[in-house]
Structure 1
Amino acid sequence: MSQQPFSRPGAVDLSGMKAAAPDQAAAPGAVGGSSYSVQITEENFQSTIESSMTAPVLLAFYSPTRMPESVGLARDLATLSTEFEGRFLVGLVDIDAVPQIAQAMQIPSIPLVVAIVDGRPAPLLQDVLPIDELRTALTQVVQQLTASGVAGRHQPRAAGGPVGEDGEAPMDPRYAAAQDALGEGDIDRAVAEYQKLLDANPADAEAAAGLAMAKLLQRTQGVDLAAARAAAAAAPDDVAAQTMVADLDMLGGHVEDAFNRLVDLVRRTAGDERNQAREHLLGLFGAVGNDDPRVLKGRQNLASALF
């Protein structure tokens, strides 16, 4: 694997791209989608790059004809993007279908994954990896980005469904202020904006989830991951130490690990400490969403631990 830090070199030069034909359809080499992936076409490429101003975009370049193995990498990235819940958007680029984009990006070979942060590209990896190794690599990247203050999230898209010509799923304008704050790295303002929405409508599930995630980002700002894990290992029943690592696991995409850590903590503790652990876990459930199968499983495990 070839992994490099986000050195933010020059922005993508699109001047060499030809205009798209008006009747161009979606790329025929589509590998399937998720809520946080999009099949790249000439029409939505620019807007996808621009969305990296909110949160990173990973462009996965592949070719079904020249290197079939590269399709598997692209598909795995799309699958994993759901686990990371908007920390990055995967742009799936079939270079046979959109060769102009590969030329504009000066792609030397495939497979290739390029990370775009704030509109600027940096090569991320050039090998086909087993999905577990790919998950680990992405976790490391997300943790590096979080430590650097890059903490925005993409809005989910209709999985496998159509998007607009600009590549974006429609966003409810009520959440624009909070999303803008996240995109600008102003976590405190995002918390305040989501709180306003929830105060106005306590039944707003999306605002509740957004508030829970913004508070998670707020709690983990500036936290050293290695030190937090060491503290948790040294004090397995310390609620503050364990909940902090659970928060960091959430940020890294290890949602089930975060849930399991706190379920085990609930099982080992009693009284106020048990209640604190339970309340924190319920907050993480809210950040992920009550319809998520991992949350449903987590609730079952929590009930078992309590009773």
Structure 2
Amino acid sequence: MDSPWIRTTTTDTFRQDVIDQSNDVPVVIDFWAEWCQPCQQLMPILEKLATEFDGRFILMKINVDELPEIAGAFGVQSIPFVLAMIDGQPASQLPGVMPEPQVKEWLESFLPSAAMEAYNSGLQAEGTGDLETAEDCFRKAATMEADVPQFQIALGRTLLALDRELECAEIVEQLESRGFLEPEAESLKEQLELRSNVEDSGGITAARTALEADPNNVGLQIQLAEALSVEKRYPEACDLLLNVIQTDRTEVRDRAKDAMVTILSAMGPKSTQAGEYRRRLATAFY
């Protein structure tokens, strides 16, 4: 049993080894016994596939003679008895002894695709701030399943976080060629637009300096708001623009509104702050 994906357990560690572990990766339990000839036929197939699948599932071998309590808890009456556990619950049972192609087909019926696993690994890396690893994982997922927008969007989001705007823009352009954009992709597009505007104006420091020299210039206030939003200081940016909208009655008011709509879109569809500021914008403008 050289593979790290083929394991055994005990009565004391079963919950941790199987139930808890299945929350992270599917666990396939093989109930077997030394005297069971069908078990001896099936086990090498399961072990081979566990090694080939390289961590997409864990094979947990349970000898019913050594661990009858566990076998009884699962109602095992005949063996081999092969059961998949996902998120702490039984998910699928192998119908019986089968040749390798059918066993592999059974596994594929409930296992996440390799692309989805790469995507999930990317989300974990992104959550810890490891953007380089996240990029590798998202790119792998997007390469394996190029028709899944969420993989492309995740890659674009990571590229933007790495300040690789041109590569992100290529992904957004590719997605937009379908004739529409998902809200998350629209957010990336708006963030790219804001970054382009801020690059032209010189960033927060330049915008603050210019505004200090001309504090009543509402155009400079809009530039500062855009610069703040690029640094994800959204409340400051939105409050500044709301002030312009509430106090100015010239055409600049419309510019401030357009800038705020762009910023709210850049904040993303899941932002609760964006929802609050949309309500405040509606109240202020209408």
More helix by share: 2
Bigger Cα Rg: 2
> TM-score, structure 2 length as denominator?
0.45
> TM-score, structure 1 length as denominator?
0.42
